[in-house]
Structure 1
């Protein structure tokens, strides 16, 4: 591959699971940059945690990448929040400039240091963003904006450090940017001619089930539980 999608890694971040804002909840969304070499295993960065392993983490959500390019748009929308002054506001593990949902495709493979990682899915934002930003509809804003970020699975463990290049190694599905997939998913598409081509992709099981159900039921799923969350009190 040529270097057109190679970018420099500005930060590699991890966080510890801690009690969160609502009764019984836990989160590791508060992530901070690491200095030095970061070990990367099949479940992501060594030392990184997830507050709710039922819906976060695992092989298909091992590493979360969020474009720092989006931060200026969020500052324009929300004001100069302290959270938006440095990487980590969205719970990301990787922060870069130059890659976003419009130029990253499902199945893209990147070299991150000595590790090989593969884009597995876009992020489906949840209610924890609402509480982190103290903006009641933050998750809905992230979803509707398309500035969601994305996840990787780890194909080959290794190690990396901030300042190195994230190098594109393979792009098997150049027509399927994450923006296109996100528009299909979050745009509430029901048309068979839109959904069936996506089902030819190597989707994670939850996304395949979702699109198959849309075709079968001819209705869009209810997002309220994921995006609004449990009562705060």
Structure 2
């Protein structure tokens, strides 16, 4: 697993059903290394601290391989790296094989897989199509949130090297399916 893109977003105000909201989902690739801090990525806007950022959701990673599935459903969309709101776009990332607690050395950092990403309406805003939210729920392509055990810089080309395996714990995909069932989606 290797980083294909590092992505940062600015705070953006948008009109949503007649109401002004702020979002940081509009993330785009940057060419310089990014700093993964204990509760967020330095320079990346997090507008909803209740659902993003913090110790357990400091960094969000998503697989480039999942892009193809959604490209078929949304051929009109320009699929730039970061479109799913991820900080790290990874070449080959599989939520069915990553367990909660698995730990990786990446660049200068050490990252621990914590929880799945649950989609909200802001993903629909980014895609300009609310259908993406249900389509996202109906897969196991949720991406992975990471806790930063050791802060530092990561950059495009850095590899995820597993240093601890927690196969006794549920996979991120299993957590996601359980959340989907609990929500009745």
* TM score, norm. by length of structure 1: 0.73
Which of the two has greater helix per residue? 1
TM-aligned CA distance change 1:76 to 1:62, over 3 Å = same
2:5 match:
11
Distance 1:21 1:166 in 2: 38
Specify which of 85, 94, 109 is matched with residue 91 of structure 1: 85
Q: How many residues align?
A: 183
Specify which of 78, 84, 101 is matched with residue 74 of structure 2: 78
Gaps of at least 5 residues in structure 1 are 1-6, 189-219, 224-233
Structure 1 vs Structure 2 CA RMSD: 1.7
Specify which of 105, 111, 127 is matched with residue 111 of structure 1: 105
Matches within 5 A, 1:133-144: 133-144=127-138
Distance 1:132 1:34 in 2: 18
Larger RCO (CA under 8 A, 6+ residues apart): 2
Conserved 8 A contact 2:36-2:152: yes
Distance 2:153 2:116 in 1: 23
Gaps of at least 5 residues in structure 2 are none
Could you report, residue by residue, the CA deviation over 1:55-102 in whole angstroms, capped at 9, with x for unpaired residues?
Answer: 2211111101111101111111222521x2x31111100001221212
Distance 2:67 2:184 in 1: 28
